[in-house]
Chains A and B, each alone.
Chain A
């Protein structure tokens, strides 16, 4: 299906009646009633606001600037620094993945591109030094707006004990070791025990495992935050369980990340439950075949079975624990505010070899408990609607955690016409890209393709001449100048030159300690570079 049905609330259904005075164009319009003569677009620049400066935002901007003549792109970013999850999500030991920043720098060096950093749209800035602009103000000064602000929340498990000390969200942990200001003060305590549990079997879970298992001296040379190096070098974690409800044939991780863990010197991998792997793996399609192959290989470093964790130089090891669903985080009897173990119930699969199989809890009361002073919840990121979406009638699917769209990034929803038939309502000039469009999955390459398809849809619409955009009734719009004109007192805006100065300062800090970069982890420190 191209179209995402919103089955929960339909806040926009009647909202335009109440809110017509606020922004009348925000009623969803059935697309066939729209008409705008093409000639009105000739000669005028296409003004595009991009909300969010991660890969989705940059790749959309890039494609829009190559596909639409005279496109002027203004990119808004809540932090003083750009690149979103490329900077704050990609693991520090994956510098090659960050090479896409070179492309983003090219985009930003165009005279038709403006970076507006340290400005949050529609939602209060999450750091004290940042400014906020209402979305409504953006909508007055552009022809189109692309929402590419990603997924800033994480999913929770909703089980008892989730808030005891020692239970962390993988998203926060990743933000912490990558120097994200929001989580710079997380200060995870890795010294309370030698076993750690990671709940979830995606690539973020494997990143967290690698950070816990990798030699700190290898990480030291990366752009990992200095506070993370300090904490990781004191870590007592020796044994990492990566736990999933389903089996290897259903797991979300990819082979590259598994191979990296297997290649860690003197880190052992405990064999997986082979009953969950099809007998005849040769007949599997290529990707699962290669993945099963590597999972069945013997660990280059065989695990030793010295159960009492007494030796100081105990071997580090990891395992993939399948068919376990978490039911509770158990506090320590000695200190009820602190985690001691994680409790699971065993599951069974509808079909162990079907990649789409689902897990069912088993009926026998046979809980499985893993002692763990440390647990990470890594069950996915989540996008949230901007606060102004509801009053403006912009549809957000809570069920899918995405802005409702046609699969190519055009914001739309189904609505019931007067004759009771269903039709599609468009939101002129509104587009989305990246995780807020398709959900929080996939690598940068998938986000790139996805951003390109949004930009292509937008370019088609603009070239078509009949498709409505924002503010296209002959009035010229001012973009960032217009937004600024509405009053921006006290807001400290970081432009691209400002970012380059912060970038240089970070590289200089890094050079002093033999790293490529030493990130500023406080927005105040970033802004201090600019005087």
Chain B
């Protein structure tokens, strides 16, 4: 079992995570939440049906900075039409909140990757790994979602930090009844398990 001392040892690595200053977050929220404002810059050069997921990290490599880039150009989610925005809030590993305006039909993995949040999707969103594990903070929202199927539950069984309201981000599809959803990204605890070394 992980103990607090072990978590303490993890803390330095968390401090190294890309910093999202409050102003950056505010910009996200402001940009995507102001009704009537053009919420997301569209990217006409890129065909929306492109099956290749370009994750945001390459761009940050090229610019050699750790700041949050204008991530919307990376993912393959479509910006919501004015007046049809649904809101979802991601709470990252450092506790910072990212409130995003998204379209109906987008799943949480695509949304997170499009907005540069730290969520891997090792299997490309095909429900074959547990790297996009999220915890729904509000039981009420959890209950509104279609129940996870056997395949998703099988993967959740292997997820670290599993909670009663855990889901795979790739399987949560935004719908009007989920407007206002809040999900937490689980802290990485796997490497601190002493059982790995027995």
Interface of A toward B, CB cutoff 8 Å: 1-2, 4, 62, 65-67, 69-70, 94, 96-97, 99-100, 102-103, 106, 109-110, 112, 254-256, 259, 286-287, 290-291, 400, 402, 407-408, 438-439, 441, 443-446, 448-450, 452-453, 456-457, 459-460, 463
Contact = CB atoms under 8 A, between A and B. Distances in A.
A445 B53 contact: no
A286 B61 CA distance: 40
Interface string B117-150: 0001011101111110000000000000000001
Nearest to B153: A290
Nearest to B162: A286
B157 A286 contact: yes
A267 B168 CA distance: 30
Given A254-B154, A445-B131, A96 B58 contact: no
- Identify whether the interface residues of A are mostly helix, strand, loop, or mixed: helix
B1 interface: no
Contacts of B197: 1-2, 4, 400, 402, 407, 438-439
B190 A449 contact: yes
B153 A109 contact: no
Contacts of A400: 197
B22 interface: no
B130 A445 contact: yes
Contacts of B58: 106, 109-110
Interface string B174-198: 0000000000000010111010110
A99 B122 contact: yes
A254 B158 contact: yes
A96 B124 contact: yes
Contacts of A100: 122-124
B124 A99 contact: yes
Given A254-B158, A453-B188, A97 B128 contact: yes
B69 to A, nearest CB: 12
Given A102-B53, A449-B190, A450-B190, A67 B129 contact: no
Interface residues of B, number: 42
By Cβ-Cβ distance, the 7 closest A-B pairs, closest first, are A99-B124, A456-B13, A96-B126, A453-B191, A287-B157, A96-B128, A449-B190
Contacts of A254: 154, 157-158
B37 interface: no
Most buried by B among A69, A408, A446: A446
A160 B55 CA distance: 53
Contacts of B188: 449, 452-453
A408 B155 CA distance: 25
B54 interface: yes
Pick the most buried of B6, B123, B197: most chain A CB atoms within 10 A of its CB.
Answer: B197
Contacts of B60: 66
Contacts of B41: none
9 contacts: A4-B197, A65-B57, A97-B129, A102-B124, A407-B197, A444-B129, A448-B122, A449-B160, A456-B16
A109 B154 CA distance: 34
B128 A94 contact: yes
Nearest to A452: B188
Contacts of A456: 13, 16
A460 B57 contact: no
A438 B123 contact: no
A460 B131 CA distance: 23
